[in-house]
């Protein structure tokens, strides 16, 4: 009998392109495709897949493409590059508002992650993906691109048994440098793994952040103890649940430890200051397969004459150098360097130049 099905194709948006890449490169293992209704329900309700694996945020493909179970859909990236195909196993309707409340802790459409799933809609295609290629990235990122298999091999070649990962979507300032080096004191190697996928408006562009990371590595980190990679995932801004997701992904990349700061993957005032750390009390760390390292907010203390935190510094706030992201952006926009105690001069120069270029474009 002749197969009369129409050949289907779908151009993924930027967020779904990032999800495809993380599934295809092994960063989202054990996922082998976009999740279906049973997984969606289980992940939302109990942070586990239907098969029982820890998984905190649904990875679904919302689309209005007219497809049915059994169809094979050719997928292209948001930039039009052929990526592979999806074998549709299920078409289902999710409840985006319920997902927002359970996963993000709010149904407020002002939350960027919630706004994104509302915009995508409820109708989803689920099924396994077969990858023929990965999305393209700028040269600055590809120089540092490692798949999970490649990063595990790199750690093994260096003899690293205890590897700590640092997730960031911002330039590394003094506080980040302080906590990464503190973590490095008790591990064999540091994997700086900045996110290069879709972020929210106002975040520092990824290529600018890469230059900041590289100048710090060249001047302030031991070359044989640190690797800079790139993490091609998108930001959900899901706070505590996203901290779990980022930990699972870094486990897949071969890391044994993962730094969790005071407001990991947070946005606005939607999450408590240390909620992203407290959520790890709800999981079995042996089963999770990676050890979180918790750090309090750190700062430069003039009285201590160095970096400190609430755990190590006895002095009042008027001795602490701390600037909000808004304050730093205002200073950079005026061509002013943030204080030396807040940011390395080399990093500040890169950011000032980037702001000038943005103003002149």
Query: For residue 161, is pLDDT > 60?
Result: yes
Q: Mean pLDDT check: name the lowest of 12-21, 49-58, 207-216, 276-285.
A: 207-216
Residue 170 bears catalytic tag: yes
Q: How far is CA 350 from the centre of its chain?
A: 23
Of the residues 170, 211, 225, 329, which is catalytic?
Answer: 170
DSSP state of 165: E
312 token code pair: 């190590």
- Confidence tier at 246 by pLDDT (50, 70, 90): very high
Locate the domains of the chain by residue range: 8-131, 151-360
Whether the CB-CB separation of 24 and 131 falls below 8 Å is answered with yes
Q: What is the DSSP string of 36-88?
A: -HHHHHHHHHHSB-TTS-B--S---EE------TT-EEEEE-TTS-EEEEEEE
Residue 169 bears catalytic tag: yes
Question: CA-CA distance, 255 to 160, in Å (whole number)?
Answer: 10
Q: What is the CATH number of domain 8-131?
A: 3.10.400.10
pLDDT in tens, 210-245: 899 999 999 999 999 999 999 999 999 999 999 999
pLDDT in tens, 251-282: 999 999 999 988 888 999 999 989 999 999 99
* CA nearest neighbour of 278 among 316, 317, 239: 239
CB atoms within 10 A of CB 258: 28
Domain 151-360 bears CATH identifier 3.40.50.620 = yes
Average pLDDT over residues 277-295: 97
Query: For residue 1, is pLDDT > 60?
Result: no
What is the per-residue pLDDT for 4? Answer: 47
pLDDT in tens, 298-351: 999 999 999 999 999 999 999 999 876 667 878 888 888 888 888 999 999 999
The rounded radius of gyration (Å) of the Cα atoms in the chain is 21
Cβ neighbors of 165 (< 8 A, separation 6 or more) are: 190, 191, 193, 250, 253, 255, 257, 258, 259
What is the per-residue pLDDT for 314? Answer: 96
pTM: 0.93
Cβ neighbors of 133 (< 8 A, separation 6 or more) are: 81, 82, 83, 84
What is the per-residue pLDDT for 182? Answer: 96
Of the residues 85, 144, 169, 241, which is catalytic?
Answer: 169
Backbone angles phi, psi at 332, to 5 degrees: -65, -40
What is the per-residue pLDDT for 359? Answer: 62
> In CATH terms, are 8-131 and 151-360 the same topology?
no
What is the per-residue pLDDT for 199? Answer: 64
Average pLDDT of the residues of the chain? 93
Question: CA-CA distance, 284 to 354, in Å (whole number)?
Answer: 43
Query: For residue 2, is pLDDT > 60?
Result: no
- Confidence tier at 201 by pLDDT (50, 70, 90): low
pLDDT in tens, 91-147: 999 999 999 999 999 999 999 999 999 999 999 999 999 999 999 998 889 999 999
Question: CA 338, 339, 345, 350: dihedral to nearest 10 degrees?
Answer: 0
What is the per-residue pLDDT for 155? Answer: 98
What is the per-residue pLDDT for 122? Answer: 98
Percentage, residues of the chain above pLDDT 90: 78
Residue pointed to by tokens 């209005």: 64
Question: CA-CA distance, 23 to 34, in Å (whole number)?
Answer: 8
Whether the CB-CB separation of 193 and 141 falls below 8 Å is answered with no
């Amino acid at each position: 009998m002749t197969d009369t099905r129409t050949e289907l194709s779908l151009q993924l948006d930027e967020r779904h392109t990032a999800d495809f890449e993380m599934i295809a490169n092994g960063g989202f293992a054990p996922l082998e495709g976009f999740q279906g209704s049973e997984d969606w329900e289980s992940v939302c309700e109990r942070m586990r897949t239907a098969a029982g694996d820890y998984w905190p945020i649904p990875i679904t493909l919302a689309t209005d493409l007219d497809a049915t179970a059994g169809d094979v859909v050719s997928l292209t990236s948001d930039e039009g590059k052929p990526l592979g195909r999806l074998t549709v196993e299920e078409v289902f309707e999710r409840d985006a508002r319920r997902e927002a409340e359970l996963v993000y802790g709010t149904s407020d459409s002002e939350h960027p992650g919630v706004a994104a799933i509302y915009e995508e809609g409820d109708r989803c295609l689920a099924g396994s993906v077969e990858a023929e290629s990965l999305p393209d990235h700028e040269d600055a990122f590809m120089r540092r691109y490692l798949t999970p298999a490649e990063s595990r091999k790199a750690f093994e070649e260096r003899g690293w048994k205890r590897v700590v990962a640092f997730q960031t979507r911002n330039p590394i300032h003094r506080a980040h440098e302080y906590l990464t080096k503190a973590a490095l004191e008790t591990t064999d190697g540091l994997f700086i793994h900045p996110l290069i996928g879709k972020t929210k408006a106002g975040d520092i562009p990824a290529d600018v952040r890469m230059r900041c990371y590289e100048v710090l590595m060249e001047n302030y980190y031991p070359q044989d103890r640190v690797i800079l990679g790139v993490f091609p995932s998108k930001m959900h801004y899901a706070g505590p649940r996203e901290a779990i997701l980022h930990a699972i992904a870094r486990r897949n990349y071969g890391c044994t430890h993962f730094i969790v700061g005071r407001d990991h993957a947070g946005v606005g005032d939607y999450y408590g200051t240390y909620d992203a750390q407290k959520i790890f009390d709800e999981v079995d760390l042996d089963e999770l397969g990676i050890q979180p390292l918790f750090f309090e907010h750190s700062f430069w203390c003039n009285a201590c004459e160095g970096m400190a935190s609430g755990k190590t510094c006895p002095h009042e706030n008027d001795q602490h150098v701390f600037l909000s992201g808004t304050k730093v952006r205002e200073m950079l926009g005026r061509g002013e360097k943030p204080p030396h105690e807040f940011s390395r001069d080399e990093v500040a120069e890169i950011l000032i130049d980037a702001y000038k270029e943005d103003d002149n474009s």
